[in-house]
Amino acid sequence: MEVVRPKVYLVGETRAVYTGITEYLEDVGAPEWVTDAPSDIEILCEIMGRLCYKSFKPGLNPNVSKIREGNDTYLKNIIHTKHGSVLEHGQVNFIFRNVSRVFTHELVRHRMGVAISQESLRYVRLDKLSAFVPMLIEENSDGMTLFSDTIEKLEEVQQNIAKIYEIEGIKDFGLKKKLTSAFRRVAPIGLATSIGWSCNMRALRHVIEMRTDPAAEEEIRIVFGEVFNIVSERYPNLFADYEVKIVDGLPHVTTANRKV
């Protein structure tokens, strides 16, 4: 058995199309508008918010005589006033590797504003098994021995059942798929796997708060603690209202301004 730790990869993000932005600003009567946003996602969230009120400059909307300057100030107000729909325009794409099916079963409960693609064990045949070991098991020698022995035994089961059905010599991929699907039924739920997860920024804020909470499961707290480290550095104005406390050795990310 190989002991692994979850890994987080940011593999994509929403990009701004600057020619379109320029054309829109000229059309709306604010060609001189500029932003100091540190990322394309923050640019788009600001633009989408400003178009709601036509607040690119004073006087553009007769009801608006003063506007908030600066992306950080603007997004801080968006978050404070809970105008969360504006944040849905920015999306990030992650791959989570070496996460268990315990983790993925928890993750897929978050469905609003997300897209999910998981490694398929109908197609990917198991041979070597790897797993994340929770802290409570790792710290207990007897528990760790039993955990390791069980995973290793199930690894042998995967190898032996493949030999029984002589899957290596089968040319028909349809049959291989059926057998691979059957074999996975004796794989542990703690098996390490990979999942692609895309999420808009409004939903991401919610998931980070929910899944770094001390009551959340350990593995998902580890993953979303790392997710927060990545997004708070890359999109600082969208996460400036958060504070991080260490609880049970893991980050708890929270803000008083919840449900944005």
In a domain, 252, yes or no: no
Which of 41, 69, 88 is the endpoint of a domain? 88
Q: Structural domain tally of the chain?
A: 2
Which of 138, 156, 186 is the endpoint of a domain? 186
Predicted confidence at residue 98, as pLDDT, reads 98
The answer to whether 244 and 251 have CB atoms below 8 angstroms apart is: yes
Q: Are residues 79 and 126 in the same domain?
A: no
Mean pLDDT on 40-65: 95
Mean pLDDT on 179-207: 97
Predicted confidence at residue 258, as pLDDT, reads 54
Each residue's pLDDT tens digit, 72-103: 999 999 999 999 999 999 999 999 999 999 99
Q: Are residues 33 and 76 in the same domain?
A: yes
Residue 245 Cα to chain centre, angstroms = 20
Name 22's Cβ contacts closer than 8 Å, sequence gap at least 6. Answer: 31
Beta bridge partners of 112: none
In a domain, 63, yes or no: yes
Q: Are residues 84 and 21 in the same domain?
A: yes
Residue ranges in 139-172 assigned as alpha helix (H) = 141-164
The answer to whether 43 and 71 have CB atoms below 8 angstroms apart is: yes
DSSP letter string, 170-185: ---HHHHHHHHHHHGG
Mean pLDDT on 171-199: 96
Q: Are residues 26 and 68 in the same domain?
A: yes
- Report the C-alpha gap between 186 and 22 in whole angstroms: 57
Give the model's confidence band at 260: pLDDT under 50 very low, under 70 low, under 90 confident, else very high.
very low
- Report the C-alpha gap between 168 and 182 in whole angstroms: 15
Each residue's pLDDT tens digit, 103-125: 999 999 999 999 999 999 999 99
Predicted confidence at residue 1, as pLDDT, reads 87
In a domain, 241, yes or no: no
Angle (nearest 5°) at CA 104 between 103 and 109: 105
Q: Are residues 20 and 69 in the same domain?
A: yes
Instruction: Judge if pTM exceeds 0.85.
Output: yes
In a domain, 93, yes or no: no
In a domain, 55, yes or no: yes
In a domain, 224, yes or no: no
In a domain, 200, yes or no: no
Which of 186, 214, 229 is the endpoint of a domain? 186
The amino acid at 60: L
Neighbours of 26 (CB within 10 A): 11
Each residue's pLDDT tens digit, 204-231: 999 999 999 999 999 999 999 999 999 9
Domain that holds residue 175: 122-186
In a domain, 201, yes or no: no
- Report the C-alpha gap between 190 and 114 in whole angstroms: 23
